[in-house]
Amino acid sequence: MKLAALFLASLLSLPVSTLAKTPIDRLQVPEGFTVEVLVEDLDNARAMALADQSTLFVGTRDAGNVYALELKDGQLRKRHTIASGLRMPSGLAFSEGSLYVAAVSTILRYDNITTSLNAPGEPAIVTDQLPSERHHGWKHIAFGPDGWLYVPIGAPCNICDQGLPYAAIHRMRPDGSQMELVAAGVRNSVGFDWNPADGSLWFSDNGRDMMGDDLPPCELNRVSHAGEHFGYPYCHGRSVSDPEFGKPQACTEHTAPAVEFGAHTAPLGVHFYRGSGFPERYKKGVFVAQHGSWNRSKKIGYQVLWVPIDGTTAGEPEVFLSGFLDGETTLGRPVAFAELGDGSLLVSDDFADAIYRIRYRGE
């Protein structure tokens, strides 16, 4: 008994990262695909931005760190912490030799970063004029095909009507100037990408809470014109009128989602596959990472979906990566995507502190 007690005490004294294991042995992908761990013990790994085929930047939310991973032949060779103590630096974008980091109210720019991983200089401030609220203050950022930097600003609440710039996706010049509205009525988008087929912007949106287990749906949306309104806070999904804000505006006055996901599934990362390593059909759709529920009586989400797309129409989602749940026990939470030059797909997991690599080996 004494030995058992001592053993248990020693386990309890270990840091969480020591006890944590990735769920790699439980993860499932379609036939012909393989999934492996690219890196583990990477605290709170979320957003990813690939500078070139040898440097992958990784942002975090709660850890406040930004990492740089040196890769060779698609394998980890060295890791760096290039920034720490930032306020939820969950959004990263790389352009023309510079790394852009979104940290709630501020967007920073690290110039010539790939040549100074061991000693990055002080970053330039692109803007420090974004809202400072923590609630939905973390961001996904990305450069669009137009060369502008796209920046969402979430609603600073579960449900409220604070007006712009909240609950919207905006774009700005790389120097932070000329901020413009892209889409309104967007509660909390933490992932978007452009369809290479037609250049259209698709984004995820997390539905409001406190309406029960099964309402309202989370969403995948397609922007057809600048300034389009997607319903929040008046309408959720295609037809769910908000009990507090729904009366002034009917759901028919707003753009309906392309896909309704289950309530509380928390869709985050969105990625159109562009490589040549997967079967051709995967270029005709979009990957979506469902982070998973936190306030539902039975957990839901915790998986990566692939959604087929035909023109402007989305089809029935297919499960692509699963195994992050064991009953009601959380083993991992997928967040974001990156794509290596060899066609393999990376998926970050901020619960298991890992990044997975998915490859196609053939039937």
**Domains in the chain, please, with CATH?**
27-360 (2.120.10.30)
Q: Would the CA dihedral through 275, 279, 280, 284 be positive or negative?
A: negative
Do the strands 240-241 and 259-261 form a parallel or antiparallel pair, or are they unpaired? unpaired
146: Cβ contacts below 8 Å, ≥ 6 apart = 171
Amino acid letter, 349: D
| Residue numbers of the chain with a pLDDT score lower than 70 | 1-20
Other beta carbons within 10 angstroms of residue 40's beta carbon come to: 18
- pTM here is 0.93
Nearest alpha carbon to residue 271 among 250, 256, 254, 288: 288
Three-class SS string for 171-219? EECCCCCCCEEEEECCCCCCCEEECCCCCCEEEEECCCCCCCCCCCCEE
pLDDT of residue 14: 33
258-270 confidence digits (pLDDT tens): 999 999 999 999 9
Pairing of strands 180-184, 168-172: antiparallel
Would you state the pLDDT for residue 11?
36
Asked whether 143 and 150 are in contact (CB, 8 A), the reply is: yes
- Output DSSP code: residue 344: -
Q: How far is CA 182 from CA 25, 164, 170, 194, in A?
A: 41, 12, 5, 13
CA distances to 143, 195, 360 from 148, in Å = 6, 16, 33
pLDDT for the residue 53: 83
